[in-house]
Amino acid sequence: MRYFSSQITIKHINMSDKHIIKTEWKGDMAFEADVNGHKVMMDAPIDGGGQNLGSGPKKLMLVALSGCTGMDVVSILKKMRVEIEKCTIEVQGDVTDEHPKQYFKMHVIYEFTGKNLPLEKLEKAVKMSEETYCGVEALYRKAIEVTSEIRVVES
């Protein structure tokens, strides 16, 4: 068995935490990732040589963004004593036509449901996530355009 390694030096960053996942090939185009004991299945659609057993890996980038910012926003709103009934986050990713096909823009739509929700607090929570807390978005913003909007549904 051969191992290939490359070393990248990053200066001025305190790297005190390392996240490690393992991904195992399950046949055809299917891979199963182990993330802290949680299984995440990835596969290609049937017309792409897979069995459609899970999401494609690229779309999991959208999932990472929605989960990261969603956890931030809900936590911030709780601290602000804003009671929401529901929070739905949709992330839209625009993909290049040429290979390597990659996202060049993402748009996040935050939809909050509740009674008399204070828009200024919703906006502040989203802004705090986008600019301070969400590490996924911080990384994506270094490479692509990320925009957002807030929708409020009165219950």
Residues 31-85: tens digit of each pLDDT: 999 999 999 999 999 999 999 999 999 999 999 999 999 999 999 999 999 999 9
Question: 13: pLDDT confidence band, cut at 50, 70 and 90?
Answer: low
pLDDT for residue 130 is more than 80: yes
Based on the fold, state whether residues 34 and 79 are members of the same structural domain.
Answer: no
Hey, is 140 helix, strand or coil? Answer: helix
Asked if the structure places residue 4 within a domain, the reply is: no
Based on the fold, state whether residues 44 and 107 are members of the same structural domain.
Answer: no
Asked if the structure places residue 8 within a domain, the reply is: no
Based on the fold, state whether residues 73 and 22 are members of the same structural domain.
Answer: no
Total domain count, the chain: 2
Based on the fold, state whether residues 87 and 21 are members of the same structural domain.
Answer: no
- Please tell me the distance from the alpha carbon of residue 2 to that of residue 43, in angstroms, as a whole number: 26
Residue 40 parent element (H or E): strand 38-42
Q: Are 96 and 106 in contact (CB under 8 A)?
A: no
Asked if the structure places residue 6 within a domain, the reply is: no
Asked if the structure places residue 116 within a domain, the reply is: yes
Based on the fold, state whether residues 81 and 149 are members of the same structural domain.
Answer: yes
Smallest CA-to-CA distance from 40 within 18, 16, 56, 17 is with 56
Identify the domain containing residue 145 by its residue range: 59-154
The predicted structure's pLDDT at residue 16: 76
